[in-house]
Chain A
Amino acid sequence: MVTVVDYKAGNLTSVMKALRFLGAEVCVATQADELERATRIVLPGVGHFAATVRLDRSGMTAAIRGAIARGVPFLGICVGMQWLYAGSTEAPEQPGMGYFTEQVTRFPDGAEDGAEKVPHVGWNQLELLRATPLLKGVESGDFAYFTHAWRADVSQETIVTTQYMGQFSAACQRGNVCGVQFHPEKSGATGLKILRNFLEMAAC
């Protein structure tokens, strides 16, 4: 069973569809008590970082912290990954969950001639820094689909980097807590591999 957290930040359909396609039993949590017995948690997010305030208000932030402490595997996608950090300049008044200490910042404004645009949209390559079970079968040079204007710098929890206006953290992991800046549910075979690996990740 995998619990997908719904905090009204965009569309859950694609993520749930991909997880079900991989054979997972999927349920949706909209409040804290629904996370108490979760055995695997996915936090999607395609909206504004400010929307994560709903995780705090609903008590789900505390519930997710509790689940992580119990060893429940956790995967944050896009804004869901960014939320793992201390905060984002997209919504400076709204703190992140703070599992990682860094700040999420915006790409610098693009070149005047439109050569490098913000947001970063499209298929870009992954560069693996560490081989973790989440990345089993994935190789450097494989492509994933990105769509975002904010990103985390490369730091010690970074397991995958991608190049766009410099290197940024495309995936991060420490123990049972993982985040991906790209959309595995929209990244073809590579993305499905990563989701399958997550579904097979052991609790720790």
Chain B
Amino acid sequence: MLTRRVIACLDVRNGRVVKGVQFVDIVDAGDPAELARRHAEAGADEIVLLDITATHEGRATLLETVRRAAEQLFIPFTVGGGIRTLQDASAVFEAGADKVSLNSAALQNPELISEIGAEYGAQAVVVAIDARRDAAAQDPVRSARVFTHGGRRDAGLGVIEWAREAAQRGAGEILLTSMDADGTRAGFDCALTAAVSRAVNIPVIASGGAGSVEHFAEVFTSGCADAALAASIFHFGISSARVLKEQLAVQKIPVRLPC
């Protein structure tokens, strides 16, 4: 049976993990390569590395980081942040990424989705959407808007509309982050995730708001998520993806176990 994926996310800046997991016995908690490996060993189904480095020097560091992280990583590995051109994507793939995550670059130049897809396959292109409910609208979920710049700027289009377009242009997956839920630890935006998941025929990865095992159970059932992203949750009582999945399995959610 196809399982629901638990994806470990590393936020990286200038080659160091800025938040995320701190394994008890780890030598260097800030090294993304080591953390990626630890997550894989601890049962994560996939690793996402999101780079928030803006500088040119930082980009070179990123490629080196990706190379080192990918070295002994034999599960899917997605890299996002600052990928604006096919050349940027190629460099990241050559460094060992399996997928790239596109956010604002895809909004500015939607053709980038098909351009990268044509070269590396649709499965290699993840379109990341930062979404915010429109509280003033009659249906705040279906009227949710796409935001950029960390949720500060309205991109001028609807989440469902953009998800559909991204899928039509050949995106392999959608990474949907709820800006409303992000950082709250109060649960994923299940209604929004379900609306997007039903609107497209490609997998939807839920992100933002994870705080408990129950939140994952909810987003995999009522939220219709195909996968869910976990970053800071491992700080708060759930020690690893394996432990999380063991608890999901008790609730009859299909997960990859043993892992």
Contact = CB atoms under 8 A, between A and B. Distances in A.
A11 interface: yes
Interface in B225-259: 226-227, 256, 259
Given A46-B121, A143-B259, A123 B2 contact: yes
A38 B90 CA distance: 28
B74 A122 contact: no
B197 interface: yes
Nearest to B3: A123
Contact of A13 (B93, B172, B201, B226): B93
B203 A121 contact: yes
Contacts of A187: 74-75
A110 interface: yes
Contacts of A93: none
B247 to A, nearest CB: 18
B96 A46 contact: no
Contacts of B3: 122-124, 143
B215 interface: no
Nearest to A118: B201
A47 B40 CA distance: 26
Nearest to A192: B74
A54 interface: no
A191 B201 CA distance: 27
A21 B224 contact: no
Interface residues of A, number: 38
A143 B93 CA distance: 24
A119 interface: yes
Contacts of A166: none
Contact of B121 (A10, A14, A143): A10
A39 interface: no
Interface string B170-181: 001100000000
Chain A interface SS verdict (over half): mixed
Contacts of B2: 120, 122-124, 164
Interface in B187-219: 197-203
A186 B74 contact: yes
A123 B224 CA distance: 17
Contacts of B202: 117, 119, 121
Contact of A121 (B123, B198, B199, B224): B123
Contacts of B40: 188
A180 to B, nearest CB: 14
Interface in A99-146: 109-110, 113-115, 117-125, 143, 145
B154 interface: no
B16 interface: no
Contact of A117 (B5, B75, B226): B226
Contacts of A113: 198, 224
A188 B226 contact: no
A138 B4 CA distance: 22
B130 interface: no
Contacts of A120: 2
A14 B69 CA distance: 12
B51 interface: no
B184 interface: no
B5 A123 contact: yes
14 contacts: A9-B121, A10-B121, A11-B93, A13-B96, A17-B96, A47-B119, A114-B197, A119-B123, A125-B1, A143-B259, A185-B74, A188-B74, A188-B259, A192-B74
Given A10-B120, A13-B70, A143-B256, 20 more contacts: A10-B121, A11-B94, A11-B98, A13-B96, A14-B70, A21-B72, A109-B201, A110-B201, A113-B198, A114-B198, A114-B201, A117-B203, A119-B172, A122-B227, A125-B1, A143-B259, A145-B75, A185-B74, A187-B75, A188-B75
Interface of B: 1-5, 40, 45, 70-72, 74-76, 93-96, 98, 119-124, 172-173, 197-203, 224, 226-227, 256, 259
4 closest A-B pairs (Cβ-Cβ)?
Answer: A46-B121, A147-B123, A123-B256, A114-B198
